[in-house]
Structure 1
Amino acid sequence: ETQLFNLAKNPNEFLPEHGKQDPNLTNLADDPAYAEKLAEMEALLLSEMRRLDDPYRLWNQPDDGLTPPKATRKKRRKPKQAVN
């Protein structure tokens, strides 16, 4: 879920679900008045991800043919045995 907050009015990014009662505590991502700003920020994020060849894209971004590396498990080190 995309979230967008006015950090001047809601610096802690609280939502009403957090138990605070304040009209400024709202997710602005679905507010048509902020659609242009949201699109601008999403385009900037995608531009940076492309610049850095970041394959970990958000659900609504093109993958540009990049595939994330396969996860590998770290090998556990065997504890050193004490020398007597």
Structure 2
Amino acid sequence: MGVAPFLPAGVDLAARAASELGFSYRTMMTIAGHDSVNMKDVAPAITLFVSSVAGISHDEGEFTRDQDICAGTELLAEVVHRLMSGALDDH
């Protein structure tokens, strides 16, 4: 069985929110064991990543700058707000 992508409407919602907040973003496939990878088959789900210095992730050397954590938190809050406002009700 191949890797199924996240709901495109959810990815688009997050991309629009990031853009409107003035944040740079890119979409990517992930097969890491994040909860949303499994949950997307049950309910609409996406994963939001924030930048880590030098791209180091899942390692004791991982470090994420405060401003990137704050931006990720702001984006998460905006995505949740849009979801609670019905942005994906028809999906």
TM-score normalised over the length of structure 2: 0.28
Larger relative helix fraction: 2
The structure whose RCO (Cα within 8 Å, separation 6+) is larger is 2
Considering only CA atoms, is the larger Rg found in Structure 1 or Structure 2?
Answer: 1
TM-score normalised over the length of structure 1: 0.30
